[in-house]
Amino acid sequence: MLAFKVENLNLWYEDNHALIDVSMDVPRNQVTALIGPSGCGKSTLLRCFNRMNDLIPKTKITGKILMKGDVEIRDPSVDVVKLRTDVGMVFQSPNPFPMSIFDNVAYGLRCQGIKDKKQLSATVERSLRQAALWDEVKDSLQRNALKLSGGQQQRLCIARAIALEPSVLLMDEPTSALDPIATAKIEDLMQSLKQMYTIVIVTHSMSQAARISDQTAFFLLGELIEAGPTAEIFQVPKDKRTEDYISGKFG
Amino acid sequence: MNKARRRKDIMRTSVTWISASLAVLVLTSIFVFVFKRGAGTFSWSMLKDDYWSKNYLVAFGDVAANDFAPPDTDSEDEFFSRKFGFGLADSVDKENNQLMLVTTVSALSPLHEGTITTAGPDQGKVMAIPLNARIRRIDYLDQENNVKSTGLLGQDHSAEGAIERLEQEATAIREIYFQSTGGGIRGSIIATLMLIGLTLLFSLPLGISAAIYLHEVAPRNKVTDWIRAAVEMLAGVPSIIFGLMGVSMLFRVTNLFGITTQSVLLGSFTMTIMLLPLIMRQTEEALIVVPGSLRMASLSLGASTTQTIFKVVLPNALPGILSATLLSMSRIIGESAALIFTMGTAISDSPKISQGATTLAVHIWTVMAGEQPNFELATAISLLILVLVLGLNVTVKLLTYRINKKWQV
Amino acid sequence: MDRKEKKTIQAKLDSFHSRKLWQDKIMKRIFQGSALLAALMIFFISYFVISRGIQPFLSSYGDEQQSLIAFISGNRWRPDIAPPVFGVGFIIINTLLTSLGAAVLSFPISVLTALFIAKIAPPKLRAVLTTIVELLAAIPSIVYGVFAAGTITGLVKDVGDIFGINTYGGNSMFAVIILLAIMIFPTITSLSVVAISAVDRSLELGSIALGASQMETNFKVVLTSAKSGIFAGLALGLGRAFGEATAVSMVAGNRMIGPTWNPFDITRTLTSTILSGMHETSPGLDYDMRFSVGIILLLVILATNFMIQVIKRKVGGVTHE
């Protein structure tokens, strides 16, 4: 079962050819890691999955991204606002809204028109539990979210994203702004979340990719060099460049 | 470094010091001038009085004479009526006319409870004779119950004479004819508030929407650049040209509402356009400060652009929009040239939206434009304007400082 | 939850969703409309002022039709005689005289003050002076007018008395120049401060490394590098001087024949002409001529801005704003 099937995807920012002929599969209910040196196009690809690239002017895209087998997500008939409720995203640095913890998690639901208090608080509790934050904040749901620690803020952002029950969760270097303890907590969280969601993660850390992912894709200068099960990529890379990168010869 | 060079350096340093101190000197002298000349006239009664003096005929229903104790503060110029408990003094106004002013009214004096008999909306209302009222005539009953008058202009218009007649002959007081002081700015204060309210009502939604379009919605293309340039040009147009535009273009709009003269509404339309560049620039600056990551987060959660703007961007830009509002108020209070054209120069004591009126600033213009410029009132209003305008600007400065501090965290 | 219930909830959410998208479209149109309206205003203003201002020169105006050449080159402004005479030529000259005079007086002081604020003053004094300049910019024109009528005219009168020159109670070209110099000071200063602060620090260090003192660097490198921004300030200041109406009217004295070159004599500017006698005029030729003067005012401002741009290009500059 595939969450996404990418076929011959090309992307230009003005004259910059940022993704070159990328084709890959993202399997369901697994963690897929996108790795590579900065500027290699891994974050750009991630943003294609929920069409956040639409927001950047002068972007041109060719090729296909099929979701759940048959939906081309760039088709004009696809409602991008609805797509984003099905493909959640967690950003590099935690970006909670300057409102209460409860309002942060309920934000997406309210934007869908859900006003029922019971339903809201049930979903907020479920999401915070799944994000392993419930026990820490259950007594202070009305506190300003900006008062939380960095790691807690990032877990709040995860809770906020999964409150909409998306099928895919995109994570753009979610731990790069966090300390090791907070990072460990989020990595544990991902392992439990993949039971319910497909996770695509961009990471800078080789060891993180090795620890948490089932599939790994290695990018270099906009090209997909190699993709496959994580164990294979890390132990028997087929391409010399992958091997050099993983062994730390450049990066 | 040789001596000549060093001397030149010292000279250069001192000219910059001198220039900077000139700025301080100018601001100080404006303050000193306005405070010195204006503080004497500035008073509570100036703020609450009408500008135009009004004539009143007040009846007392033939209240019988009593015996009142004269006030402790015994002044040379004051003449006190023990029978009716009030004091009068002589004075002259700017045009050298003889005046008879009420200086004291005892607590239980019948003068506190007169009934207005002048025709008009106030007829029949109870009125107390105010201090500084200019007495024109006092009607009283003598021992034979004949109605007699004293204090008539051109006959016995002196405080001493009038009080003497009352003390000798009067048994009861019937009517007093007097003129209220006037010279107040209550009407102009109300007109200013009306103009502020109306202008903000129109200009804030328009300006904020336009700024939102430019910063949140618009594609970055030629048309957007062109809109920015056009608004930038608007900021450079002198306010007197806005006045001309108001009477030629917006006048047609107010005509649709059935208004055929200069009016507060026309003034507010004109100010709305004049303030657009200011509000748009301030709002856009406030929008710029809102972190882009919040917009991204909102959109990634399936919010529409509009939802993102109203739920995330605007609440966070609120302090900046408040600054825009306060600065707009300050500009409205200070504006004169455009309003002289669109609201007229006739001072109104009971301004209406559909009629002409003066704001505080135009009030100054009117009293200065006459043959005899009224410097005292002009500086007193200037004092009020200065305090308001500078207060608003300082508040904005503090607000900006707090916004910057907030987002630095 | 049974299936039916689920279906109705889904239907509700779907209808909310389509409403949300529809709302989004409408709001975007409203935002766009507001921006376009704001942008169009400058054209509306130009159109309405010009179309009314040229009326008196068209044959359709009837008996009172004015000659454009007589208007432009005229040296008398007599709306009070019959038939009235409207000659704006001398007013243009006197407007240029007062505004340029104010710029000449204000420009060096503003630039030096800006240099002081940006480079020389200790931090606390800098904050105080910045606030003072901002407050000066915020003082309304009418208050400057009262101040000028109460102090500057007296000053001019005293100076005139010393030289035995009869001044009309101090209302004079000189008073207008001093008033305008004060009023454009904050404009030029604040823009110059921005320009001076934007000068690349490495330029300064380069000059100091070559053995120049800090003050020499300030005058020879910093000021010359900030030229383009300082000229932008001057352009804005001149624009304000040309367009300033209320305060100028209170001390100009409104001369009827000109031009006058004597600084102690009363004068007349374009703006004071538009304002003068506003309270006693009624729709008619006298009223329409104010729009004609308005056109001239806009042209003068445009021409000045254009000239400043040319000068700026000739003089050149290092900062990029």
Work out the average pLDDT over A31-46: 90
Q: Mutation test of the interface with chain B: which of C139, C171, C191, C220, choosing the one with the most B Cβ atoms within 10 A?
A: C139
Counting residues of chain B whose pLDDT is more than 70, the rounded percentage is 98
- Between CA A216 and CA A246 the distance in angstroms is 12
Name the pLDDT band for A125 (thresholds 50, 70, 90): very high
CATH code 2.30.42 region(s) in chain B: 54-179
Say if C249 falls within a structural domain. yes
Name the pLDDT band for B376 (thresholds 50, 70, 90): confident
Are B388 and C136 a contacting pair, CB within 8 Å?
no
Same domain, C157 and C283: yes
- Between CA A121 and CA A137 the distance in angstroms is 14
Query: pLDDT tens digits, residue range B45-69?
Result: 888 888 887 888 888 888 888 888 8
**Can the peptide bond before residue A96 be classed as cis, meaning omega within 30 degrees of 0?**
no
Same domain, C7 and C117: no
| B296 to chain A: closest CA residue | A52
C13 in reach of chain A (CB within 8 A): yes
pLDDT of residue C318: 44
A162 in reach of chain B (CB within 8 A): no
Arithmetic mean of pLDDT over chain C? 89
Name the pLDDT band for A148 (thresholds 50, 70, 90): very high
User: Chains meeting A at 3+ CB pairs closer than 8 A?
Assistant: B, C
Name the pLDDT band for C43 (thresholds 50, 70, 90): very high
Name the pLDDT band for B113 (thresholds 50, 70, 90): confident
Give the amino acid at C102: A
Q: Which of B291-300, B377-386, C10-19, C43-52 has the lowest mean pLDDT?
A: C10-19
pLDDT of residue C189: 96
Closest-CA distance, B122 to chain C, in angstroms, reads 31
Same domain, C45 and C88: no
Work out the average pLDDT over B273-300: 93
Mark B348-368 as b/e (b = at least 16 C-beta within 10 Å): bbebebebbbbbbbbbbbbbb
pLDDT of residue B193: 96
**Cβ contact (<8 Å) for C48 and B330?**
no
Q: How many CB pairs under 8 A join B and C?
A: 255
CATH of the domain at C168: 1.10.3720.10
Name the pLDDT band for B94 (thresholds 50, 70, 90): low
User: Chains meeting C at 3+ CB pairs closer than 8 A?
Assistant: A, B
**Cβ contact (<8 Å) for B301 and A161?**
yes
pLDDT of residue B1: 65
pLDDT of residue C320: 44
Considering only CA atoms, which of C67, C84, C68 is closest in space to residue C76?
C84
Considering only CA atoms, which of A215, A102, A226 is closest in space to residue A163?
A102
Same domain, C128 and C46: no
- For residue C285, what are the CA distances in angstroms to B314, C63, C257, C293? 49, 11, 19, 12
**HSE toward the beta carbon, residue A165, CA cutoff 13 A:** 7
pLDDT of residue A161: 93
Torsion on CA atoms C17, C22, C28, C33, rounded to nearest 10: -160
Say if C60 falls within a structural domain. no
Same domain, C217 and C305: yes
Say if C321 falls within a structural domain. no
Q: Which domains does chain A have, with CATH numbers?
A: 2-95+166-246 (3.40.50.300)
Work out the average pLDDT over C157-175: 87
Say if C306 falls within a structural domain. yes
Question: Which residues in chain C have their CB less than 8 angstroms from residue B364's CB?
Answer: 142-143, 145-146
- Between CA C32 and CA C54 the distance in angstroms is 33
A97 in reach of chain B (CB within 8 A): yes
ipTM for the predicted complex comes to 0.91
- What is the number of structural domains in chain C? 2
Q: In sequence order, which residues have a C-beta less than 8 Å from that of residue A234 and are 6 or more positions away?
A: A210, A216, A246
Query: pLDDT tens digits, residue range A219-246?
Result: 998 899 999 999 999 998 888 898 888 8
DSSP string spanning C253-310? B--SB-----TTS-B--HHHHHHTTGGG--SSHHHHHHHHHHHHHHHHHHHHHHHHHH
pLDDT of residue C321: 39
| B236 to chain C: closest CA residue | C239
Same domain, C48 and C75: no
Work out the average pLDDT over B293-320: 93
**Can the peptide bond before residue B71 be classed as cis, meaning omega within 30 degrees of 0?**
no
- Between CA B281 and CA B210 the distance in angstroms is 10
Same domain, C132 and C38: no
Count helices and strands in chain A by DSSP H and E runs: 10, 10
- Between CA B212 and CA A190 the distance in angstroms is 38
Name the pLDDT band for C279 (thresholds 50, 70, 90): low
pLDDT of residue B182: 77
Beta strand B55-64 with B114-116: parallel, antiparallel or unpaired? antiparallel
- For residue A98, what are the CA distances in angstroms to A37, A105, B5, B315, B316? 33, 12, 58, 9, 8
Q: Mutation test of the interface with chain C: which of A78, A80, A82, choosing the one with the most C Cβ atoms within 10 A?
A: A82
Considering only CA atoms, which of B251, B261, B272 is closest in space to residue B348?
B261
Arithmetic mean of pLDDT over chain A? 90
Same domain, C28 and C120: no
Closest-CA distance, C69 to chain B, in angstroms, reads 23
Could you tell me the residue range of the domain that residue C45 belongs to? 3-53
Name the pLDDT band for C319 (thresholds 50, 70, 90): very low
Terminal CA-CA length for chain C: 63
pLDDT of residue A2: 85
CATH code 1.10.3720.10 region(s) in chain B: 186-408
pLDDT of residue C39: 95
Arithmetic mean of pLDDT over chain B? 89
**HSE toward the beta carbon, residue C93, CA cutoff 13 A:** 15
**Cβ contact (<8 Å) for B217 and C39?**
no
Same domain, C26 and C128: no
| Confidence (pTM) | 0.87
Say if C140 falls within a structural domain. yes
Work out the average pLDDT over C200-224: 87
Mark C151-187 as b/e (b = at least 16 C-beta within 10 Å): bbbeebbebbeeeeeebbbbbbbbbbbbbbbbbbbbb
Neighbours of B67 (CB within 10 A): 7
**Cβ contact (<8 Å) for A55 and B304?**
no
Closest-CA distance, C18 to chain A, in angstroms, reads 10
Work out the average pLDDT over B126-142: 86
More confident residue, B403 or C257: C257
Query: pLDDT tens digits, residue range B202-211?
Result: 999 999 999 9
Closest-CA distance, C54 to chain B, in angstroms, reads 13
pLDDT of residue B269: 96
- Between CA B310 and CA B329 the distance in angstroms is 24
Work out the average pLDDT over B338-356: 91
Beta strand A223-229 with B147-150: parallel, antiparallel or unpaired? unpaired
Same domain, C136 and C19: no
pLDDT of residue B74: 65
- Between CA B254 and CA B385 the distance in angstroms is 28
Same domain, C22 and C110: no
DSSP string spanning A133-159? -HHHHTT-TTSBGGGS-HHHHHHHHHH
pLDDT of residue A169: 93
Pick the CATH number of B54-179 from 2.60.40, 1.10.10, 2.30.42, 2.30.30: 2.30.42
Name the pLDDT band for B409 (thresholds 50, 70, 90): very low
**Cβ contact (<8 Å) for C13 and A79?**
no
Say if C23 falls within a structural domain. yes
More confident residue, B43 or A161: A161
pLDDT > 90? residue B279: yes
Query: pLDDT tens digits, residue range B216-236?
Result: 999 888 899 999 999 989 998
Say if C320 falls within a structural domain. no
Q: How many CB pairs under 8 A join A and B?
A: 60
Same domain, C49 and C72: no
Task: Tell me the Ramachandran region of residue B69: left when phi exceeds 0, alpha when psi lies from -120 to 50, beta otherwise.
Answer: beta
Pick the CATH number of B186-408 from 3.40.309.10, 3.30.70.100, 2.140.10.10, 1.10.3720.10: 1.10.3720.10
B401 in reach of chain C (CB within 8 A): no
